[in-house]
Structure 1
Amino acid sequence: MTRRMDGIKDGGHSFRLVSRTEEDTIRFGESMAPFAFPGLVVLLVGGLGAGKTTLVRGFCRARGCSNVRSPSFTLVNRYECREGAIIHADLYRLGRVDPEELDMEDYMDEEPVLFIEWADRGLPWSFDQVWTVRFGHAGDDGSREITLSAEGDRAISVLDAFAEDYPGGMTGV
């Protein structure tokens, strides 16, 4: 992993879907789990209450983990699941915290699946295989538009397979 201070970018492959309820977002996270691989980094972008932690909760539930909570105050939560470790980080308060305190390099040496909330606040790291999940408002009913994009050859090919397999499908962007 190399260091960088620039922001995130969307890869060449992007897909979109609408989540109408919290349970839809949980199911989306559950559906992602079989396609994730060791070393995958999932960048989560969206406002307060957009569904970032809810998506991670669904992902972890599919991998046999429970007690998922927002790492807003702990900065990093680690979940030991059936298929390996999941690291869940939150950059919301990073402006007041030295990024070195997160020990991200140490976590990445283990090749967990890594989720980073508030990734649009500026990443002090660079990753090879990335999915970026962006949450936006889709309507007055509280539904969310979720856009998923990828960077890195393996991340792109696995995202394509996930989009093809996703129940109800995803719309290419």
Structure 2
Amino acid sequence: MGCCSARCMLILLCCAQLITAVERQVFDFLGYQWAPIMINFFHIIMIILGLFGAIQYRSRYIIMYLLWTLLWVGWNVFVSCLYLDLGGLSKDSDILSLGVSSHHSWWKDNGPGCATEGLPSAGWENQQNPELTTVLSCWLEYQYIEILHCIVQLLVSLLGFVYACYFISIFSDEEDNFNFIGEIHHPTKPSQMFF
């Protein structure tokens, strides 16, 4: 029954990862951040494969999920360092938009409690340029919201990684002990072939 509880927990963690990844994908689309959009898309596919592997007892899919989880953890650490301006990275760079546009995090202008004010000039009123608004104050700055997204992803991914490793180890032990004829092979008992 230990396999069932690890399997159920892995399925639950994959579902939680799927929900948080789709939420993150929506806000990255709103901010036109193309690198996170592509990586989130692959992350959603790998979560679905991991979920399928856990439901169908497919160890290869879970191994793919494990390998992707390592890359996903690295990506979230990179994004956290970017928003904290660590290691020569800058949150004002266009790395996440791949240099295609000057867009930035959606949370920069639309964070919780952010009050925006347009330019006072009457000539600019009809323009639809988002760069012409200034953010006066926010309850929580946008970089901290993005870092919180990364922290949630890191915590759920690390838990998923641990449970996936545990599930693979239990599943491989059960495969070794199964005879495929319906009998369970016990390596400690002597074989009774001719008796």
Q: Between Structure 1 and Structure 2, which shows a larger proportion of helix residues?
A: 2
Greater RCO structure (CA 8 Å; 6+ sep): 1
What range describes the TM-score normalised by the shorter chain of this pair?
Answer: under 0.3
| Structure whose alpha-carbon radius of gyration is higher | 2
TM-score by length of 2: 0.23
